[in-house]
Structure 1
Amino acid sequence: MTAPIPAAGTVPWRRRRGQLEVALVHRPKYDDWSWAKGKLDPGEDWPVAAVRETREETALAVGLGRPLPGSEYTVLDGAGQPATKEVRYWAAEATSPAGPLENEIDEVRWLDVIAASDRLDYARDRDQLRAIVRADNAGTLTTWPLALVRHAHAVGRGSWAADDQKRPLDDVGRARAADIAPLLAAYGIRRLVSSPSLRCADTLRPYAAHLGAALRTKDGLSEEGYAAQPARAAHHLGRLVERGTPAAICSHGPVLPELLMALLALVDPDEPEADLAGAALRAAARDKMGKGEVLVAHLAGSGAQARLVAVERHLPPS
């Protein structure tokens, strides 16, 4: 069976005079109104493609928010044969006005949700709109991401005689670190916290360089620091939850289950996807996150009011 054609997109949203509006795009080739979306480039991560396609089709700069329902439908492939297209979507608050349009889009139109529902040409696109409205009514449309990252593949312990904290990434690990940078950028991550171990710090370093941001290290996120004071790891995560700033933590396999269980306590039981979010966190803690994996938790609110509304897992290519 032919693999589905992967595509990604967003539902850009904003508030104007207190009213929720979403951005639709018009494709003159098909004379239809839909969401900004497009096919993944070879080797591209879904979230990276969603941000890129949104920028290309709407000229809007966005950071991804909570994931939305996807869609699957039949299209014709390059050979003119029927194929399934799989599209993944995210809510995305617009952070800049639209500029000149590129690609095959000739108009971007901001509409309130009722007008948008009427204007959309495909019934499947209303699934994302309904999810946006539900989240807005629940007060969880505005979210911020907290990413947990397990360090990328490093030189093996058996072949490293020096201080284990200075054990570096290998070639595979450095390549994955480079791939993690645009993934974190897609979510608008701005604060970076890491174990001081070189293999963790170097996993986030390419993104820190891209962002021009400081990379903060915490002993409590290292294997050695966690063994000495297990509560410190969750303390560091709690400080980030208090801040409510888009952030990433890079740590080790033995430490991450502690952080995952701290996130589990924040799952909002009233969320439609609460069971899936909880199951994803438990599975990641039980089976251990893969090296170079990025788990993104979407939270609404901060501090004592923080509620976890969705979880995504992004694994490196096998």
Structure 2
Amino acid sequence: MTVFAAGAVCWRFVDGKVNVLVIHRTAHRDISLPKGKVDPGETLPETAVREIAEETGLAVTLGVPLGVTNYTMPNGREKVVHYWAAEATDGAILASTFLPNGEVAALEWLPVKKALAALSYERDAEIVERFRMLVDEGVTRTFAIIALRHAKATPPYQFVGPDADRPLTERGRGEARSIVPSVTAFGPEKLYSSTARRCRQTLEPLSKSLALPVKTTDAISQDAYESGESAVREMMGKRVRKRVTSVVCSHGPVLPDIVREVALATGTAPAATVSRAGDLPVAGFSVLHLSVDRPGSGIIAIETHVPNP
């Protein structure tokens, strides 16, 4: 059986230069990137954030996905590890309570080139090489727009009243709760919802968990979209200009427009990955990663997460 794991290239500025974090592992006597196995019921983003905290004492949020490594462990099982970039803020470093232990003997911040030379495994170096491409392109600091489709709602044929009043089903309420850890891993600071009840209910658990208010707007509602009165372009342009990680919860027909407008606002070249990012199942979301310093340089990466069946 394949073992799944997740980790990150944690980075920070030291004297104006990007440094990355490597860990010296106690038992393995090697130098690697922080990572760990997925616990039952966890999502990969949730695992990455938890493992970083456990191994390094750093509370981080995830940035750009850096790819996957795949190798066979000594016991013959295959291991697949997903990595992200993750900035370690000054506050996170000051708050770290790391002490050497039986798993990690030491933490070391190194310039990217020195980290590449220090790592014990070529597979780790390949992930850091991908991170170095972001550094070289000047797009290391990122924020995200998270396009979220509302969870499962009561079907129209089972509901009497305006379409915008349709509530989530019991399954939908469970989906709304289940997405909280995954979305939280990307550090949203603003929550926006269509005025429809099913969208507002989808964001309720996330709002409660993060202690963030939900701002509702007709700009991304299905009613406004169908009547030709939506204001998706204006809203997404503003979200790009603000450069703050935001969740935007809307509807199946509207989400492709939301993604398309983010692409247009950032000068992103047309691509199949962009068009697919708006085609989401209920409770699915796409994370559009954008540069803080160069938002006009296009969408840096897109990742899509769907609920477990």
TM-score (norm 1): 0.90
1:181-235 CA distance string (max 9 Å, x none):
1112100111000001111011111111111111000112111112233550222
SS at match of 1:193: strand
User: Pick from 256, 267, 276: which aligns with 1:283?
Assistant: 276
**2:84 is aligned with 1:86:** no
Asked if structure 2 preserves the Cα contact closer than 8 Å seen for 1:8 and 1:88, the reply is: yes
**TM-score, scaled to structure 2:** 0.93
Conserved 8 A contact 1:144-1:298: yes
- Listed as ranges, the matches of 1:208-223 within 5 Å are 208-223=207-222
Per-residue CA shift, 1:270-309, capped at 9, x if unaligned? xxxx78xx32221244xx3111101000001379735210
2:292 matches 1:294: no
Report deviation, 1:32.
Answer: 0.8
1:1-318 alignment, distance < 5 Å? 2=1, 4-76=2-74, 80=75, 82-95=76-89, 96-97=92-93, 98-101=96-99, 104-265=103-264, 278-285=271-278, 288-301=279-292, 305=296, 307-318=298-309
What letter corresponds to residue 195 of structure 1 in structure 2?
S
* Alignment deviations for residues 64-119 of structure 1 (CA, whole Å, 9 cap, x no partner): 1111121001014xxx4x11100000000002113224672221111111221221
State the 4+ residue runs in structure 1 displaced beyond 4 angstroms: 266-269
Runs of 5+ consecutive residues of structure 1 not aligned to the other structure: none
CA RMSD of aligned residues (A): 1.9
Q: Is the 8 A contact 2:224 2:230 kept in 1?
A: no
Unaligned 5+ runs, structure 2: none
Counterpart contact for 1:261–1:282, Cα < 8 Å: yes
Aligned residue identity for 1:70: V
- Kindly indicate whether the alpha-carbon contact (under 8 Å) linking 1:266 and 1:308 is maintained by their aligned counterparts in 2: no
Aligned residues of 1:189 and 1:247 also touching (Cα < 8 A): yes
Q: Aligned partner of 1:90: which letter?
A: W
Are residues 103 and 239 of structure 1, via their aligned partners in 2, closer, same or farther at CA, if it must alter by over 3 Å?
farther
Conservation of the 8 A alpha-carbon contact between 1:57 and 1:103: no
The CA distance in 1 between the partners of 2:97 and 2:10, in whole Å, is: 14
